[in-house]
Chains A and B, each alone.
Chain A
Amino acid sequence: MKLVTAIVKPFVLEDVKGALEQIGVLGMTVSEVQGYGRQKGHTEVYRGAEYSVDFVPKVRVEVVADDTLADKVVDAIVESARTGKIGDGKVWVTPVDSVIRVRTGERGSDAV
Chain B
Amino acid sequence: MDGLDTGDTAWMLASTALVLLMTPGLAFFYGGMVRSKSVLNMMMMSLSAMGLVGILWALYGYSMAFGNDVGAGLVGNPFEAWGLKGLFVGSYTGDAISYPLSGTIPALVFVSFQATFAIITVALVSGAVADRMKFGAWLLFAGIWATIVYFPVAHWVFAFSNESSGVVGGWIANNLAAIDFAGGTAVHINAGSAALALVLVLGKRRGWPRESMRPHNLPFVMLGAGLLWFGWFGFNAGSALGANGIAGFAMINTVVATCAAMLGWLITEKVRDGKPTSLGAASGIVAGLVAITPSCSSISPMGAILLGLIAGVVCALAVGLKFRFGFDDSLDVVGVHLVGGIIGTVLIGFLADPGSPAGVAGLFYGGGVDQLWRQVVGAVAVLLYSFTISYVIALVVKAIMGLRVDAEDEVTGIDEAEHAESAYDFSTLRSIGGSGTPRPDAAPPAAAAPIPAHASKES
Q: Please report A residues at the B interface, Cβ cutoff 8 Å.
A: 44-53
Number of interface residues of B (CB under 8 A): 20
Beta-carbon nearest neighbor of A52 in chain B: B212
A45 CB contact (under 8 Å) in B209, B277, B323: B277
A55 to chain B, nearest CB (A): 11
Q: Is B316 an interface residue (CB 8 A)?
A: yes
Q: Is B214 an interface residue (CB 8 A)?
A: yes
Chain A hits for B215, CB < 8 A: 46
Q: How far is the CA of A53 from the CA of B279 in the complex (A)?
A: 17
Interface membership of chain B positions 332-343, coded 1 if the CB is closer than 8 angstroms to chain A and 0 otherwise: 100100000000
Beta-carbon nearest neighbor of B265 in chain A: A47
Beta-carbon nearest neighbor of A49 in chain B: B323
Q: Let me know if B212 and A48 touch, CB within 8 A.
A: no
Interface membership of chain B positions 195-220, coded 1 if the CB is closer than 8 angstroms to chain A and 0 otherwise: 00000000000000100101100000
Q: Let me know if B272 and A48 touch, CB within 8 A.
A: yes
Chain A hits for B269, CB < 8 A: 45, 48
Q: Is B275 an interface residue (CB 8 A)?
A: yes
Chain A hits for B317, CB < 8 A: 48
Q: How far is the CA of A45 from the CA of B214 in the complex (A)?
A: 9
A46 CB contact (under 8 Å) in B274, B277, B323, B335: B277
Q: Is B319 an interface residue (CB 8 A)?
A: yes
Q: Let me know if B320 and A49 touch, CB within 8 A.
A: yes
Beta-carbon nearest neighbor of A45 in chain B: B273
Chain B hits for A53, CB < 8 A: 212
Chain A hits for B319, CB < 8 A: 47-48
Q: Is B283 an interface residue (CB 8 A)?
A: yes
Q: Let me know if B279 and A47 touch, CB within 8 A.
A: yes
Chain B hits for A51, CB < 8 A: 212, 214
Chain A hits for B312, CB < 8 A: none
26 contacts between A and B (CB under 8 A): A44-B214, A45-B273, A45-B274, A45-B275, A46-B214, A46-B215, A46-B277, A46-B279, A47-B279, A47-B280, A47-B283, A47-B316, A47-B320, A47-B332, A48-B269, A48-B272, A48-B273, A48-B317, A48-B319, A48-B320, A49-B209, A49-B323, A50-B273, A51-B214, A52-B212, A53-B212
